[in-house]
A and B are shown apart, each in its own frame.
Chain A
Amino acid sequence: MGAFRGSLTYSKFHVRGELPQDFKERFVEAIRLRTFRELDPAEEAEQRSGWCSVEHPFDLDLTPEKVFWNGYLNLGFRTDAWRIPGALFKASFREAEREYCATNGIEKLSRSQKKNLEAVVVSQLRRKLVPAMKVVDLSWALDEGVVRFFQQSPKVHDHMIELFEKTFELDLALDGAFLLAETRGLDAAEALPELEPTLFHAQGA
């Protein structure tokens, strides 16, 4: 479903703003600052997003040759997240709770003890698990000023837009009736927000 194989499902964004003159050097540097970083079980972060190679999600050495494809800037938007199965967490927590109470000679955990123990159990389980990984292709047609992002979930859009805008210091706007008219340079564009909806059934006549 991505840029390279299969049927294509994507959202189209318009880049608002001009490319800086030295954009290649600048962008490579900026991308490197926001390249994906692996999650560490010791950290509190539950998930993290960053850029990776569009061809290989494990390739995080983003050289200009891997990023610039003639007139396109191609990146993978990688998000790793800890997903601890509920049943595994519950069973592990019960076991840890039993041990803690036995060691400390108490019958029941206080609220703060419970919270601390939950954090310990989560950290222990994370060391045994591999984070769930999702990668979405992103292709920016530089001359056209259009970004095609091969995912249509608004939640994923929000995360990608945040990272994109921080990385490139340019805004993204999702395509739609107004922007399509505006970017095609149509005279009618400015009048569109003033139009009223039409009724097409008999009662509307």
Chain B
Amino acid sequence: MDLVDKIERSRFLGRELLVWLWYESERREGVLPLPGGEACELWLEEQLTLVADMEKAESKLKAGAPSATPEAKEALRQGKLPTKAKMRISRGPQSWSFVFDADSLSVSGVKIPALITEETDEKFYERMQLVEELEAMIGGLYERFLEVRAGEGWEREAAAIREWVEA
């Protein structure tokens, strides 16, 4: 299998990651462990888009906490999966908000914690460092997801997620 095939065949995992993050965030009241013993807080907020694979119809939810609305769970019950979600991740006093795209695992509209530096080049380094920290947290969460997803316990985890969806 060449690289392009591997990329295409794995793309669906982004949507599953987003379902799992949503489930984990609710189950653990926002506090998600990261590899290496650290933890971060993660919340879905303001915007959530869900789509069904074979249909063009999408549910675009906008609310303070759209993932907590009955419409969000109903969309999951209809077989729709989240493709985009606005999220907030906090670690210690620092907080990042952004829109996460599940299909490309990309982020947009990232608001980083307040900068300390004023100079253009120093500002650039600080911005990049904060972006890299955000990516490291997303990467860490993805690593935790894959441990479960590619491990033997996935069927049990998937059953628990289905129960949460139906609740």
- Please list the residues of chain A having a beta carbon within 8 angstroms of any beta carbon in chain B: 3-4, 7-12, 55, 69-70, 72, 74, 139, 141, 144, 148, 152, 173-181, 184, 186, 188, 191-195, 197-205
Contacts and interface: CB of A to CB of B under 8 A. Distances in A.
A7 B108 CA distance: 8
A18 B131 CA distance: 24
A75 to B, nearest CB: 13
B34 interface: no
A98 B144 CA distance: 72
Given A193-B5, A201-B76, A180 B162 contact: no
Contact of A152 (B16, B77, B106, B131): B106
Given A4-B120, A180-B105, 15 more contacts: A4-B127, A10-B107, A174-B104, A176-B11, A177-B7, A177-B13, A177-B17, A177-B105, A178-B6, A181-B146, A184-B139, A188-B150, A193-B10, A201-B79, A204-B79
Please classify how large the interface on chain B is, using the bins under 10, 10 to 19, 20 to 34, 35 or more: 35 or more
Interface in B143-162: 143, 146-147, 149-150, 154, 158-159, 161-162
Interface of B: 1, 3, 5-7, 9-14, 16-17, 19, 76-79, 81, 103-112, 120-121, 123-125, 127-128, 131-132, 135, 139, 142-143, 146-147, 149-150, 154, 158-159, 161-162, 165-166
Contacts of B166: 201-202
B162 A72 contact: no
A72 B128 contact: yes
B45 to A, nearest CB: 15
B6 A193 contact: yes
B110 A7 contact: yes
A193 B150 CA distance: 11
Nearest to B9: A193
A44 B55 CA distance: 44
Given A174-B104, A175-B105, A203 B127 contact: no
Contact of B143 (A173, A184, A193, A198): A184
Contact of B104 (A74, A141, A176, A195): A176
A9 to B, nearest CB: 4
Contacts of A11: 104, 106
A132 to B, nearest CB: 23
B158 A198 contact: yes
Given A7-B110, A202-B77, A186 B146 contact: yes
Contacts of B11: 176-178
A200 B19 contact: yes
B149 A195 contact: yes
A192 B6 contact: yes
A202 B162 contact: yes
Across the A-B interface, the 8 shortest Cβ-Cβ residue pairs: A188-B150, A193-B9, A178-B10, A9-B108, A177-B13, A8-B110, A192-B10, A177-B10
